Amino acid sequence: MASDAECYDDFKKSVVVGDFDGNGNDDFATRIIHKRKGYFMAFLDQKGNYKAHILLSLSATDIKHYGMSSADKGDKYSIGDPYDGGRTGRLPNDAPVIGPCGSHAAPYIYRRGRFSLT
């Protein structure tokens, strides 16, 4: 498994900012480690109140091998298995991108009140 040192610089961000839900407000995503658990979380600005969403939960040890970046609305992303036909889509909004360092990462897309990988 790769280490943080093997992540690209733009994939080692502590916090990413974007309009993840498309409401025109800046939202945030971050990595949090608490005791033996690690989380990637998004905080959506909804009229001045932030709503928290857990994007990914891992052990504190494993999450240290993951990185985070962001993608912009309209960017292309792979749908499903990239080795199975290579279908792509376009992001409906900005999105946090999370994955193991040295491997493929995926955008977490906000739709219908929740985040998902596709």
Q: What is the pLDDT of residues 15-68, one digit of tens each?
A: 999 999 999 999 999 999 999 999 999 999 988 899 999 999 999 999 988 999
Interacting residues of 63 by C-beta distance below 8 A, sequence separation 6+ = 31, 33, 38, 39, 40, 56
Q: pTM score, two decimals?
A: 0.85
CA distance 19 to 3: 29
Closest CA to 64 of 15, 116, 105, 6: 6
Query: Which residue is it, tokens 């993840």?
Result: 20
d(CA 81, CA 72): 21
CA–CA dist 75, 59 (Å, integer): 30
Where helices occur in 17-83 by DSSP H, the ranges are 60-63
